[in-house]
Structure 1
Amino acid sequence: MPQQNTDSPIEVVRLAKRPQFLFVRNGPAERRKSVVVQARRRTGDAPGSHVGAGFTATKRVGNSVVRNRAKRRLREASRLLLPRLGQPGTDYVFIARDATADIAWSRLLDDMESALISLAAH
């Protein structure tokens, strides 16, 4: 299980605008049972720049309570994993799936970790 990393030199910045999400959509994606992770390297950024993170859940995931719970879990998992596994100068979008809100926490972390490792190889 991943360790919490609080002394990370990599700053994680939230993606908030639709064009940022659309930019990341055109990059590679990794699909797992509990999460889909999309990534795309920003062009023109200086080395050692921040990591972008955005979160989304469609209505197919469930009602607003379930969607919000799924996004909270994704945010917390990314807070633990992105400083260690995120590539500087890259934006990530985490998309909730049907299982995201109810799957075991350790499984969600494992799914997200394996997706981030696979995306690092691209």
Structure 2
Amino acid sequence: MQTLTRRRDFLAANAGERAPMPGFVLLVRPRNDGDATIRVGYTVTKKIGNAVVRNRMKRRLRALARELLPSDGVPGADHVLIGRMGGIERDYASLRAEFGKALRKTATRVRGKVPG
């Protein structure tokens, strides 16, 4: 699993499938470059809170990705997690359940569009 760092990768992922959940939004876009590596990016805006709050939200999103993406993520796709205001108040178990649901939702849509 690699981390997205370039702005153009985040912008490209924005054109992919979207699964909004109460604590975050998941964007998934297949790269179609033949590389099966799962890439993931995280973004939490200043609207969410100060640096301490944003960093805590990013830590939670990273923990979710480490736990679920290797088994449930779409191989060869970019996944972007965008933190939402409600994500800080939600407990980890509900965020985990929402992330699993979002991964299943986007995976079926992405696999339906990719030929083969």
Q: TM-score, normalised by structure 1?
A: 0.86
Give the whole-Å Cα distance in 2 for the aligned partners of 1:23 and 1:113: 23
Moved over 2 A (4+): none
State the partner residue of 2:39: 52
Task: Give the equivalent residue in structure 2 for 1:24.
Answer: 13
Q: Partner residue of 1:9?
A: none
Please report how far the alpha carbon of residue 81 of structure 1 lies from its aligned counterpart in structure 2 after TM superposition: 0.3
SS state at 2:82 partner? strand
Structure 2: gaps of 5 or more residues: 110-116
The secondary structure found in structure 2 opposite 1:121 is helix
How many aligned residue pairs are there?
Answer: 109
Deviations 1:28-72 (A, max 9, x none): 1000111100000002224xx100100000111111110110011
- Once residues 45 and 24 of structure 1 are traced to their aligned partners in structure 2, the CA distance between those partners, rounded to angstroms, is 17
Task: Extract unaligned runs of 5+ from structure 1.
Answer: 1-11
Tell me which residue corresponds to 1:6. Answer: none
Deviations 1:77-101 (A, max 9, x none): 1100000101110100000001212
1:110 matched to 2:97? yes
| Superposition CA RMSD, Å | 0.8
Tell me which amino acid in the other structure corresponds to 1:51: I
Any residues of structure 2 matched to 1:1-40 within 5 Å, and which? 12-40=1-29
Identity over aligned pairs, percent: 36
More helix by share: 2
TM-score by length of 2: 0.91
SS of structure 2 residue aligned to 1:36? strand
